[in-house]
Structure 1
Amino acid sequence: MEYTVVLCDNKTVDPATQSEILESAGASIEILDEKTEAAVAEAVRGAHGLVVDAATPVTAEALAGTDTLRVVGRAGIGVDNIDVAAADDEGITVVNVPDYCLDEVAIQALSLLLACVRAVPQYDREVKAGTWDWGTGQPLRRVAGSTLGLVGFGGIARRLASKLRTFHVDVIAHDPNVDAETMRDYGVERVGFEELLDRVDYCSVHAPLFAATRHLLSTAEFERLDDDAVLVNTARGPVVDEDALLAALETGEIASAGLDVRESEPPAADDPLAERDDVVLTPHVGWYSEESRADLSRGVAGDVAAVLRGEAPSNPVDPETPWI
């Protein structure tokens, strides 16, 4: 039987790699450039597979319009843009690639943290403008002996915790789905969310996005953080309430923030956070390396091909616990 797989993803479209894998299952590729619910609904009519990135909405309404679709492949880790429960109701398997960029995102989080703590972007701008003054970034604090809190303790957070051992940083974490023994294996103390906020110098967000984590960090949480605290978010933008973050920075309730993900991507042209020296921004690039991109292409195509062949995929998303 011949299958059609629709690709709506500009990160991992690698026709040579993906075509070879999908053709082995009897599938051909069609490219969808428009990332809207209506475009997805139209594209999946008659299609057997769909591969999407984080910006492509796969809603219950879109899935209800097809009786051929067998599998949705999320080219990435998070599946907050896919109605996993609706897919399960329609008998459609959802797969993701949960381990393709763990090291890249952990390093991105660490890079943003260090850029904030050492005022690297500010010094860079000052030196390039002709100012040679060590004092322009004052006050800087020693990293060793500080405490970092991980909000979420999945694969990325675990990699980051391991890397921080050499920095002599105490690491604590909050994750209701991970037990204390697992955290101890990484040298991390398990704490409640409010205790984490009260104790940390640095807070790094690694929680997935779903109803309970939307705006998990907002006004009350920023008030609990120390006024020297640094916030880093490499998870999902809406986990952080950006209006509350802006207010916290303006009032000095926290010191700085490093953000790789935003509530709206791309942000508005008049984004107030982009105008601040105490905010370091990158364009949702934490996932990226040439190696991770290749791994992602192979991983998602391989699992989509497996489902089309009637085989069990390596990384099915459980509709009951899609975030683990």
Structure 2
Amino acid sequence: MSNYLVAVTDSGFPDLEQEKRILKPLGFTFATGQCKTAEEVAELCRDADAVLTQWAPVTAEAIEKFTKCKVIVRYGIGVDNVDLEAAKRRDIPVVNVPDYAVQEVADHTLSLMLAIVRKIPQVVQRVRDGIWEISPCRPIIGLQEKTIGVAGFGNIAKAVLHRAQAFGMKAIGYDPFVNEEAFARLGVEKVDWDTLLSRSDILTVHMPLTKETKHVFNENAFKTMKSTSFLVNTSRGGTIDTEALINALRNGEIAGAALDVLEQEPIAPDSPLLKMDNSIVTSHCAWYSESSLLRLQEYAALEIKRLFSGEPLLHVVNGVGK
């Protein structure tokens, strides 16, 4: 049996039994850490044949010190913590796990939408305070015939639209990388960026964080949106300029925002977003359910198994070995 080493730079899982069940029969042993710095990543992963990482900084400096690494797998969808170009220079494929929590994130997106539109947290608090009103926190809008807009048209956005259409909502979407036919197949109208902003009653964000998408929701974007519209973000916090959002909420440029992701996490205890009635913040937990947790670990380990069993990798994000 071959002897391989897999280094787990860090993780928030209760244990690594899923990974061990899949990889130990192939001859893998495990080196585990909770790396916070590139130096710690370099030290742990120096002689690893494969790397599993969640949040640790897998930087160019760390990757340069890897001597045997054949694959880097990110636990999750985004790969912000891995230097993709540095891995490419070393001919190391970087792989993500895009399909482990599609339904959970879609569920959470709809939950946030309903909570912010129906003003659920405020109503609950009023009832707890002894205030019983049958038309509280006016105005509250109905969803039927309202327009939901998606920024990005990947698997999660599609799952969100599938749910939203059950509420009788009209759907529009923006994604420069997807053709009109793909939108039309789901009954969604493809629109340009300004149209997405100006027509959406609820605008939900499903974009990766790139140079092009950083702060794409900025002062100008909020001025283009309807004053009655709501913004929901379960993708990447950096797509929204936080200060511009706070100002837009204060000035009534949009009606509300519901966020599971933020530029700075955890959110600062004194953030105005925590004090505003027209803002809801959850703790980057849209991905989580007990079953998605297990799927994430399993799917990540299966990518390593594929490579070392001579099978093609499913989800390479830096173009190596495709």
Aligned residues: 320
Per-residue displacement from partner, 1:157-213 (whole Å, max 9, x unpaired)? Answer: 001111111111111000011111001111100000111111111110001111110
TM-score for the superposition, normalised by structure 1: 0.95
Residue 20 of structure 1 is matched in structure 2 by: 21
Q: Cα distance, 1:60 vs. partner?
A: 1.2
- What is the Cα-based RMSD across aligned positions, in Å? 1.6
Partner of 1:30: 31
Amino acid at match of 1:196: L
Alpha-carbon distance, 1:12 to partner: 4.3
Is the contact made by 1:14 and 1:297 (CA closer than 8 Å) also made in structure 2? no
The amino acid across from 2:257 in the alignment is A
2:115 corresponding residue in structure 1: 115
Q: Determine if the alignment matches structure 1 residue 174 to structure 2 residue 174.
A: yes
Worse overlay, 211-220 or 74-83: 74-83
TM-score by length of 2: 0.95
Q: Which letter maps to 2:6?
A: V
Secondary structure, counterpart of 1:213 in structure 2: coil
Could you say which residue in structure 2 is the equivalent of 1:144?
Answer: 144
Paired position in structure 2 for 1:46: 47
Correspondence for 1:94: 94
Match of 1:271 in 2: 271
Encode CA deviations 1:278-315: one digit per residue, 9 max, x unaligned.
11111111111111111111100011122234432222
Measured in 2, the distance between the counterparts of 1:35 and 1:308 equals 28
Deviates more, 1:69-78 or 1:229-238: 69-78
Output the CA distance in 1 between the equivalents of 2:243 and 2:291: 36
- Runs of 5+ in structure 2 lacking a partner? none
How far apart are 1:82 and its partner, in Å?
1.4
Residue 59 of structure 1 is matched in structure 2 by 59
* Stretch deviating more after TM superposition (176-185 or 26-35): 26-35
9 and 128 in structure 1: CA distance in 2 versus 1, 3 angstrom threshold:
farther
Instruction: Tell me the percent identity.
Output: 38
Structure 1 alignment gaps of length 5 or more: none
Q: Distance in 1 between matches of 2:60 and 2:204?
A: 32
Q: Which residue of 2 aligns with 1:190?
A: 190
Aligned mates of 1:13, 1:307 — CA distance in 2: 26
Amino acid at match of 1:118: R
Q: Show the counterpart of 2:242.
A: 242
Counterpart-to-counterpart distance in 1, 2:64 and 2:98: 26
Give the 3 Å change call, closer, same or farther, for CA 13–72 of structure 1 in structure 2.
farther
Q: Is the 8 A contact 2:9 2:44 kept in 1?
A: no
